[in-house]
């Protein structure tokens, strides 16, 4: 649970409040009526002309990009209104989503164990007060003997060992006849682990030369 509570909250919240005060006049403006299609055409042509003037006769990545954007804006200005409406949805909808997310972020409040959303807290603290404990092996997790010792220690505390994994979302396709304690020898376990490690990104092949 403590991992959900950020460090240095007072200093971070102070910076967020400063940003909120600076951005609030812009973010809180009333939504203006959408411009007419004719106004959009005029604006596209005006901005395309401004980009061409800024690029001038210059070359280079910046000037070339400005000329390409100006050409695209002119093509959009000459297109039909349906095409301009589609372009507006493509660019404006994500912007509105981002602005709304920014407004929410600027309303940040101190985080404590009591106000952590249930969507997160529910995975660790149950309504009856039980808490999930997450443990890791001490030592090299790629060492088979370390993993065996860890498994024995966990089973000594929880013989069933069922709390080590979250409950399945569905039990319809659970295999309960061919899974469980298979009675494998340590050599067989090592062979299985070795095979599984070949499918991990961190596998390091042994140089046998």
pLDDT 10s digits, 126-146: 777 777 777 788 888 788 888
- The separation between the first and the last C-alpha atoms of the chain, rounded to the nearest angstrom, is 49
CB atoms under 10 Å from CB of 54, counted, come to: 13
Please tell me the predicted confidence (pLDDT) of residue 129: 76
The DSSP line for 96-114 is: HHHHHHHHHHTT-----TT
pLDDT 10s digits, 4-26: 788 899 999 999 999 999 999 99
Please tell me the predicted confidence (pLDDT) of residue 46: 96
Contacts with 56 (C-beta within 8 Å, 6 or more apart), sequence order? 63
131 phi and psi, to 5 degrees? -120, 140
Low-confidence ranges of the chain (pLDDT < 70): 159-171, 174-181, 200-209
High-pLDDT (> 90) share of the chain, %: 36
Please tell me the predicted confidence (pLDDT) of residue 70: 95
């Amino acid at each position: 649970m403590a991992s959900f509570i950020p460090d240095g909250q007072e200093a971070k919240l102070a910076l967020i409040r400063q940003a909120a005060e600076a951005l609030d006049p812009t973010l809180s403006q009333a939504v203006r009526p959408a411009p007419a299609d004719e106004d959009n055409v005029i604006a596209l042509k005006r901005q395309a002309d401004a980009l061409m003037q800024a690029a001038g006769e210059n070359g280079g990545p910046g000037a070339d990009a400005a000329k390409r954007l100006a050409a695209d804006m002119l093509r959009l200005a000459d297109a039909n209104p349906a095409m301009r409406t589609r372009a507006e949805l493509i660019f404006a909808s994500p912007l509105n989503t981002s602005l709304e997310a920014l407004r929410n972020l600027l309303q940040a409040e101190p985080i404590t164990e009591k106000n952590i959303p249930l969507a997160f807290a529910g995975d660790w603290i149950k309504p009856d007060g039980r808490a999930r404990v997450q443990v890791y092996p001490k030592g090299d997790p790629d060492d088979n003997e370390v993993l065996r010792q860890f498994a024995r220690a966990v089973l000594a505390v929880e013989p069933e060992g069922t709390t080590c994994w979250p409950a399945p979302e569905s039990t319809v396709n659970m295999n309960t006849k061919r899974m469980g304690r298979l009675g494998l020898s340590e050599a067989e376990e090592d062979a299985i682990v070795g095979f599984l490690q070949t499918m991990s990104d961190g596998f390091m092949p042994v140089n046998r030369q």
